[in-house]
Amino acid sequence: MLMSRRFYLPVVLLFFSVMFQHVWAQNTAAVSSGAKNVTTGAGVDLRLHRRLSQGNLKDENISLLVKGDLQQIEALTLKFGGVYKNAYGNIASIELPEKNVLAFAASQGIQKIENTSTMGRQLMDTSRIRNNVDSVQLGFAPLTAGLKGKDVVG
């Protein structure tokens, strides 16, 4: 029993020291970059906030889902040069120029903003089409007959 305490105490201390160092490093990075809040402020999702804070902002519109007061969202969208598409419940679908998103997010009545234009990922439901399996099995040109997998490799 004495051996187990000698083993676990340094492990627990090491764990807490690593966690403290991680938290301290995040806070000093936020202070050095001038950020007022380590979380992204007015509810902008992390991926969008990172992209907008890097600098290369374009004039083109990006699609957003915004949660908050719908009347204020519609008015703010038009004020910042965007397009108000539609809404359901308290979530609105809008398009807004990239350069205006952070200012829009800091406005009153906006609770959360998420970017909807993420890159899609192809899954296994499209593998037969992308690999032309159907074409090979049916024997489309230049094949003379369909190949089913039996006696294909001799």
Please name which of 8, 151, 34, 64 lies closest in space to residue 80, comparing C-alpha atoms: 64
| Res 86 pLDDT > 60 | yes
The tokens describing 50, both together, are 């990172």
Whether residue 75 contacts residue 94, with contact meaning beta carbons closer than 8 Å, is answered with no
Q: Report if pTM > 0.85.
A: no
Tens of pLDDT, residue by residue over 62-85, are 899 999 999 999 999 999 999 999
Tens of pLDDT, residue by residue over 102-147, are 889 888 889 999 987 667 777 787 787 888 787 877 888 887 777 7
